[in-house]
Structure 1
């Protein structure tokens, strides 16, 4: 009886770990040691970068010139990341009159926007187990 129970527990454990993933994001080029880094995770191009459209949001208190976050609650799939350094802790990405962020920001694949915000297609990546990204903040 114990071997049957152990078998079913093993099968269930395999089912639950099949879709598990671990995304490590290393954030570099942090100039000021204050505030938080706010991270948005998107899984579609629909409303990419629109306020309130991220499927998950995370924040990291800035304590060093580089920070790391390990995300374990995303299922395998396609994603894009955006982030900004909320230096003044006002919970928004402050922008100038042209809409360009005044606070440091970054995107997955280290996309550097030229004349407009990047497209989801440029920032997307596949998470299919363990993945490590390095995102360099743009100042």
Structure 2
């Protein structure tokens, strides 16, 4: 009986390993209103499209720095996108050329120069607890 209990305990501990904690610290928030909308992607296909994200999170903006800790992502490869939904309309407002009018940011603090980033520009490995510092771009 003891060996069966030991086997079950060992088996469940191997396959129920806790997810690592991903802490995202967001800085350079200029306007104290609205929400930061975060998308998590795990593949290149449909990167930057809302339908391509595997998880979405939202943080109410009440100061110039925001922090969120995500604990429901298994170990793996991910890329983060975010924008500051200042007017709470649930979309990243853009100008006539398609450039965001609201602040935005990406994992690896990728700063686009001649177009939107690619998944490979923003990807990172989540194997253990990790902290990302992302500075919003305006």
Match of 2:12 in 1: 12
Match of 1:28 in 2: 27
Question: Cα deviation per residue 1:54-95 (whole Å; 9 max; x = unaligned)?
Answer: 111000011111011111111111110000000000000000
Unaligned runs of 5+ in 1: none
Match of 2:78 in 1: 79
TM-score w.r.t. structure 1 length?
A: 0.92
Following superposition, the deviation at residue 5 of structure 1 comes to: 2.8
Match of 2:52 in 1: 53
> The residue matched to 1:41 in structure 2 has which SS?
strand
Following superposition, the deviation at residue 4 of structure 1 comes to: 4.8
Partner Cα separation in structure 1 for residue 130 and residue 7 of structure 2 = 30
TM-score w.r.t. structure 2 length?
A: 0.93
Unaligned runs of 5+ in 2: none
Give the CA RMSD over aligned residues. Answer: 1.5
Runs of 4+ in 1 over 6 A off after TM superposition: none
